[in-house]
Amino acid sequence: MKMVFRWYGEGNDSVTLKQIKQIPGVEGLVWSLHDVPAGEEWPMDKILDYKRLADEHGFHLKVVESVNVHEDIKLGLPSRDKYIENYKRTIEKLAKVGVKVICYNFMPIFDWIRTDLFKEMEDGSTALFFDKAKIESMAAEDLVRNINENSAFTMPGWEPERLQRIAPLFEAYKNVSEEDLFNHLQYFLEQIIPVAEAHDIKMAIHPDDPPYSVFGLPRIVTNRDNIQRLLGLVDSPYNGITLCSGSLGANPGNDVAAMVREFAGRIPFAHIRNVKVYENGDFIETSHRSSDGTVDIADVVRAYHENGYTGFARPDHGRHIWDEQCRPGYGLYDRALGIMYLWGVWDALERVKEGRG
Ligand SMILES: [Mn+2]
């Protein structure tokens, strides 16, 4: 397990590289060029600027999250081909700075959905929260306004310019079924995977968050059967998944540890976090500890360990604790605690394996 940490870039993150450096075992940054719109080719000079900064602090840049997929690709429009070409060019450039994994997603319009960014928990900390009944009675535009007004940062996936087009996008998706979305993903993968393979970069699709349809939009990366199907669309080790325990875990019907055991060889990147799911379908992002949430994170780590996992992992999100002012879900403190929990479980399993338990 190679530990990495998501960082939004200079002037775009409350956490500093010096702080990340002091978290035990973090070897690389999970990064992106957040100011490049989806569909555009990434400029090499900006990639090299990032590389210089990472080098100065002794981090590698092997994991990119995300190179966003243009909506026209997801919609299967004729204009998709030019955006797919741009995507290929970006893959080629990323290979030049040693990138090995590209995390991406195929969710229509929204990357992830929550109703509250800072929901207070019993201990006084706050966390990202999803109120299912509220979502079902809410207009998508209101949610967008809510998210943008309640965060000091521009949220990836919720960029204002993209969201100005929300009504026409909903209209465009009206006739796109889940089968269509699978077909559009296949079209994308058939063109992208050979390029990724030639440059030794693994494509790792992120599950839908939450893993079910919201606002009537189609969603396909939601459960074991669909993951098996998408891995078969192009049956190559370069067509992989970012197994996100928190996203998939928001549906208690998903057995995350079982998915790790089944798909281990196709998981170049692991997002590990816990989530507490309530009877009514609401969920909140808790600490990593198994006993604090619905997902048995210790067993998830054990599943990776059993499979001799050598891929990348990051503590996906964290709560906001100790009065930290930070991006929703992306503070320093709770993610650092999460890393220590993951290492604690991992190291204990190593001891047992070596007969030193
Ligand atoms: Mn995730």
Ranges of each domain in the chain: 2-353
Which residues, by Cβ under 5 Å, contact ligand 1, an ion? 244, 271, 316
- 356 CA from centroid of ligand 1 (Å): 34
- Confidence at 44, pLDDT banded by 50, 70, 90: very high
Could you confirm whether 320 is annotated as catalytic? Answer: no
d(CA 100, CA 221): 22
Q: What is the mean pLDDT of the segment spanning 253-274?
A: 98
Res. 159: pLDDT tops 90: no
**Tell me, what amino acid is at 307?**
N
Distance 270 CA to ligand 1 centre (A): 8
Structure confidence at residue 148 (pLDDT): 74
What's the pLDDT band for 239 if we cut at 50, 70, 90? very high
Query: Of 69-83, 137-151, 212-226, 324-338, where does mean pLDDT reach its minimum?
Result: 137-151
> Helices (H), strands (E): how many in the chain?
14, 12
Mean pLDDT computed over every residue of the chain: 94
Query: How far is Cα 300 from Cα 92, in angstroms, rounded to an integer?
Result: 33
Determine which one of 103, 209, 244, 334 is catalytic: 244
Q: What is the pLDDT of residues 188-219, one digit of tens each?
A: 999 999 999 999 999 999 999 999 999 899 99
CB atoms inside a 10 Å sphere around CB 82: 12
Tell me the whole-structure pTM to 2 decimals.
0.95
CATH topology of domain 2-353: TIM Barrel (3.20.20)
d(CA 9, CA 262): 35
Q: Is 60 a catalytic residue?
A: no
Hey, what amino acid is at 195? Answer: V
Q: Is 25 left (phi over 0), alpha (psi -120 to 50) or beta?
A: left
280-311 pLDDT, tens per residue? 999 999 999 999 999 999 999 999 999 999 99
How high is the pLDDT of residue 145? 76
Residue 103 CA to ligand 1 centre (angstroms): 10
* % of the chain beyond a pLDDT of 90: 85
pLDDT of residue 207: 98
φ, ψ of residue 118 to 5 degrees: the values are -135, 65
194 contact partners, CB below 8 Å, separation of at least 6: none
Q: How many degrees, rounded to 5, is the angle at CA 244 between CA 209 and CA 128?
A: 50
330, 333, 334, 341: which is the annotated catalytic residue? Answer: 330
How does residue 152 score in pLDDT terms, banded at 50, 70 and 90? low
Is the distance from CB of 328 to CB of 117 less than 8 angstroms?
Answer: yes
d(CA 211, CA 178): 13
How many residues comprise the chain?
357
Given a contact cutoff of 8 angstroms between Cβ atoms, the answer to whether 40 and 82 are in contact is no
Write down the H helix ranges in the chain.
Answer: 17-21, 44-56, 71-75, 80-96, 132-136, 140-149, 160-163, 166-173, 178-198, 224-233, 245-249, 256-263, 297-306, 333-353
Residue 244 annotated as catalytic: yes
Q: Catalytic residue at 330?
A: yes
Q: How far is the CA of 78 from the centre of ligand 1 (A)?
A: 30
Spot the catalytic one: 209, 282, 316, 334.
316
Does 271 qualify as catalytic in the annotation? yes
Q: What is the pLDDT of residues 90-135, one digit of tens each?
A: 999 999 999 999 999 999 988 888 989 999 999 999 999 999 998 8
* Mean pLDDT confidence for 176-182: 97
Confidence of residue 149 (pLDDT cuts 50, 70, 90): confident
Please tell me which residue in 317, 320, 326, 341 is annotated as part of the active site.
317
Q: How far is the CA of 209 from the centre of ligand 1 (A)?
A: 8
44 CA → ligand 1 middle, Å: 27
At residue 232 the predicted structure's pLDDT band, cuts being 50, 70 and 90, is very high
Catalytic residue among 60, 70, 184, 271: 271
Task: Give me the pLDDT at residue 138, please.
Answer: 84
> How far, in Å, is the centroid of ligand 1 from the Cα of 234?
23
- The answer to whether residue 184 is catalytic is no
184 pLDDT higher than 90: yes
pLDDT-derived band at 356, boundaries 50, 70, 90 = confident
Band of residue 157 on the pLDDT scale cut at 50, 70, 90: low
Active-site residue among 60, 70, 184, 206? Answer: 206
Name the one residue in this structure whose structure tokens are 């999970």: 30
